Structure 1
């Protein structure tokens, strides 16, 4: 218990999980650097029959949403990502340090992914995508490490919401 405030919350909450966000940003930026320095734009390298690398630039959001919108979307997506990142960091700060590791990890993955893509948008005006998954002639839209972190974090948040509901039911 904090003697000055009389509360049991810690001032930093689960901010210790931001190391995971930083690791995602480093991995994301490093892999993008490797791609831009080793593959020409649109160059494709097949690794497996269902997986390859393709150097692409995405000015839009997921699945190239608004990619041809004329340029305003760059700042719109930056603003959304910065706002979401700030809100998630506040959430992490308020989250108890103990007992919520899964939720904290999910939030940290989302933060890392958002920051990784914001760096691209600010520096280049687009996000560098390169992971290509396909089956015969069907291609899933290319993505990157940041996108993967956001997706995994979002799935973890959904899973956590199911368990949170069960925890609340047990308390009743």
Structure 2
């Protein structure tokens, strides 16, 4: 196996690790808490057990159930696209890291949608009565991955500007 193929396998391994960690933490929550329970950790953070039938910030959660399959299909399509990008950029560092985190997070949430019809969320941050929607490890990986994708694009744009400026 050549070096680039090894790197691709490592990036896939990272995505797999995200799925395993995500599913393990969700399993722990389901074993330790009853649905709807909360454990106060600090004045601003609770561990809860809730299901999110929608997407980020419970988007489309109140619909009849069609959104489950919509989000599964959407995640599969996005993962397919990101796998192609991961293969193309496997020799780099920042972009494949970003793609691996998003792929792992998306798969983690797809597993939940297939198993439960919803995503298990358990991290709840709040300030008084104002709270951020609960989320999970998969959501965190997706957010970090997307932020790294933006950073990679900004770096690429800056490098292109420097190259253009030095060639003129």
Distance 1:170 1:65, change over 3 A: same
State the superposition RMSD in angstroms.
Answer: 1.7
Give the TM-score, by structure 1 length.
Answer: 0.89
Alignment of 1:125-164 (within 5 A): 125-164=117-156
How many angstroms does 1:14 deviate by?
Answer: 3.6
Matched, 1:29 2:14: no
Partner of 2:70: 76
SS in 1 for 2:106: helix
SS in 2 for 1:48: coil
Give the TM-score, by structure 2 length.
Answer: 0.91
Q: Which has the higher helix share?
A: 2
Structure 1 distance, partners of 2:7, 2:41, is: 42
Structure 2 distance, partners of 1:171, 1:160, is: 16
Is residue 90–residue 96 contact of structure 2 (8 Å, CA) maintained in 1?
no
2:35 paired residue among 31, 41, 50: 41
Query: Quick check: 161-170 or 28-37, which moved more?
Result: 161-170
**Stretches of structure 1 lacking an aligned partner (at least 5 in a row):** 3-9
Structure 2 distance, partners of 1:72, 1:12, is: 39
Structure 2 distance, partners of 1:27, 1:158, is: 24
Structure 2 distance, partners of 1:49, 1:130, is: 16
Is residue 58–residue 67 contact of structure 1 (8 Å, CA) maintained in 2?
yes
Poorly superposed stretches of 4+, deviation over 6 Å = none
Structure 1 distance, partners of 2:142, 2:79, is: 11
How many angstroms does 1:74 deviate by?
Answer: 0.5
